[in-house]
Amino acid sequence: MVLELQKPRPIWQIMFSTHHTDVGLLYLITSLGFLFMGGALALAIRAELFLPGSQIIADSMTFNRIFTVHGTTLIFLFIIPFASAVGNYFVPIMVRYKDMAYPKLNAIAFWMIPPAGALIWLGFADFTWYATPPYSIISAPGPAADMWIFGLKILGVSSVLGAINFVVTILKCKHPDMSIGQVPLLAWSFLSSSLIILVAIPTFAAALLMLLTDRLGVTGFFNPAMGGDPIAYAHLFWFTFHPEVYVLVIPAIGMMYEIIPRFSRKPIYSFNSGIFAFVLLSIVGFSSWAHHMYATGMSFTEKTVFMVGTLAAVPASAMHVYNFIATMWNGRIKFLTPMMWSVGGIALFFSAGAGGVANAAMPLDFTTHDTYWVVGHFHLFVMGTIAFGSIGFLYYMYPYVTGRMYNETMGKIHFIMSFIGTVLVFFTQHVLGLYGMPRRIFDYPPIPEWIAMNQIASVGAMIIGVSMAIFLANMIYSAGKGKPANTEDPFGVGGKYYYPFEAKNPSH
C-alpha cells in the first residue's frame, strides 16, 4: 500500500525527510497540536462568558489576547496546515508522480510554521486576528503586536511556497496519460485553493508591511494622525481574507468528494460540475470582499455590486451540495465515522451558507453588524463545514497512515457529541446576535436572555471539548493498540483506491 509509513523509524529521520508523506505527517501532527491549543483558548472564552462579570479571566486585556491567539491559531496554524497535510499525502499519488515537484521547498514551507506559531503564542497580541488600525498601529502594545505581524508574514510566505508546489505538481508533474480533466476532485480542490493563495496573499503581505512601518512611525498609510486611512487597510485585508475563506473551505469540500462516493459505493454524480464549481468559487471569491464593509460609507451602487458579487458564490456552493446529495441518492451508504462527519459537514455547510445569503443582504447586515450573529455565522462555517470535513478525512486517512484502525464506537461518539455541541454553540450565537449582543466583549449586562443563551453556548462548547478529549484518546490508543487495518480496503466498502506509482523510500 503506497500510503503506509515504513517500519518505525527514528523521529529525526522523519523530521529531516523531504518525502511528501513524511512532510505530510509533520504538517498533520503540527496542525493537530495547534487545534488542541486553540480549542483550549475557545473553552476559556466560553467559560468566561458563562455569566456576566469576571469569571476566570482577570481583565479585558487578557481576554482580548486570548481570543486573538485563539482565532489566529485555528485559522492559520490548524486549518491551513491540516489541508497541506492532506495535500502532501494525496496529491502526488493522485497525479501519479513520485513526490511533490519541489521536495526541499516543500520541507522548507513546513519548517516555517513552528517558528511562526512560536512568535504568535509568545507574543500573545491583543488586537484580534484582523489587527485593524488605528488601534493596531497607535495603541497595541509591542513587542506582542510586532511578533504577531512577523509570525503572519512567515506563515504567508509558507503558504505561497506550498501553493507554488501544488500548482506545479498538479499541472506539470501529472502522468502524461492523465488529462487535466481526469485529475481527481481532491487534487482539483488544491489546485483551485493554491491559485487563490497566489493572487490574494501578496496583497495581505503588503498590508502587513505597511502596518509594520506605520507602527515604527516611518509611514502613515493607515494612521489618521498622519493623513492615512484605516479603511484602506480594511479593503486590503478583506481582499485577501474573503477569498481566503474559500482557501479554507475548498480543500474540505475536496475531502468530502473523496469520502462520499467511497462510502455511498457510487461514482460521483457529476465530476465535471465539481470542477466547474471549484473554478467558479475561485473567481467569485474576489468579487465579494467589500460585503464586510457595508457600514463604512460606500455608495449604494458599490454596496449593490458587492451584494450581487457575494450572492454569485451561492450557485457554485449549491452545485457541490447537489452533487453530494445526488451521489448519496440510492447509494449503498455505509455510515462509518468518516461518512458521518461528511454528512454532518454538508448539513452545517448548508446552514452556514443560508446564513451567509441572509448576511449578504444590506438591511440584515446593518442590523447584525458586529454582533454575535457574525460570530455564529463564521464559526458555523469554519467549525461546522471545514473542521467537520477535515476531521472526517482524518478518520479516513488514519488506517492508511498508521496501518491500524481507530475505534469506530469512539469515533461515532466523537461525531455525535461534536454535532450536538456545534449546533448548541453556533445556532445560539446567531440568535444572540439578533438580540443585539456585540461580539468581542469581555463582559455583558445581566439581561436574562443574554445570560441564558450564553450558558447554552458555553455548555455546547464544553460538550465539544469532551468529544475532542475522546478523539485524542482514540487516536493515541489506536495508533499503538488498534486492530491492524487492511490498507487496501480498510473500511470494507470494496475497491482498491490508491495504487503505488513505484516502490518508494520515504526517507530522502
The whole-angstrom separation of Cα 243 and Cα 403 is 37
- Residue 448 vs residues 35, 51, 294, 333: alpha-carbon distances, Å: 33, 10, 31, 45
The whole-angstrom separation of Cα 19 and Cα 250 is 25
Q: Residue 488 phi/psi, 5° resolution?
A: -85, -25
The whole-angstrom separation of Cα 266 and Cα 333 is 9
> What letter would DSSP give residue 293?
G
The confidence score (pLDDT) of residue 124 equals: 95
Q: What is the pLDDT along the chain (508 residues), one digit of tens a residue?
A: 445 454 667 888 888 899 999 999 999 999 999 999 999 999 999 999 999 999 999 999 999 999 999 999 999 999 999 999 999 999 999 998 989 999 999 999 999 999 999 999 999 999 988 898 999 998 888 899 999 999 999 999 999 999 999 999 999 999 998 999 999 999 999 999 999 999 999 999 999 999 999 999 999 999 999 999 999 999 999 999 888 888 989 999 999 999 999 999 999 999 999 999 999 989 888 888 888 888 888 888 888 888 888 888 888 889 999 999 999 999 999 999 999 999 999 999 999 988 888 888 888 888 888 899 999 999 999 999 999 999 999 999 999 888 899 999 999 999 999 999 999 999 999 999 999 999 999 999 999 999 999 999 999 999 999 999 999 999 999 998 999 988 788 999 887 666 544 444 444 4
Give the tens place of pLDDT for each residue, 362-417.
888 888 888 999 999 999 999 999 999 999 999 999 998 888 999 999 999 999 99
Measured in whole angstroms, the distance separating CA 457 from the mean position of its chain's CA atoms is 21
Are the CB atoms for 168 and 202 separated by under 8 Å? no
The confidence score (pLDDT) of residue 309 equals: 84
The whole-angstrom separation of Cα 21 and Cα 19 is 6
Q: Residue 449 phi/psi, 5° resolution?
A: -65, -40
Query: And the C-alpha cell for 443?
Result: 463582559
The whole-angstrom separation of Cα 22 and Cα 484 is 21
Give the tens place of pLDDT for each residue, 228-276.
999 999 999 999 988 888 898 999 999 999 999 999 999 999 999 999 9
Are the CB atoms for 144 and 210 separated by under 8 Å? no
The confidence score (pLDDT) of residue 200 equals: 93
Task: Go through the domains of the chain in sequence order and give each one's CATH number.
Answer: 15-503 (1.20.210.10)
Q: SS3 letters for 92-107?
A: HHHCCCCCCCCHHHHH
Query: And the C-alpha cell for 400?
Result: 492508511
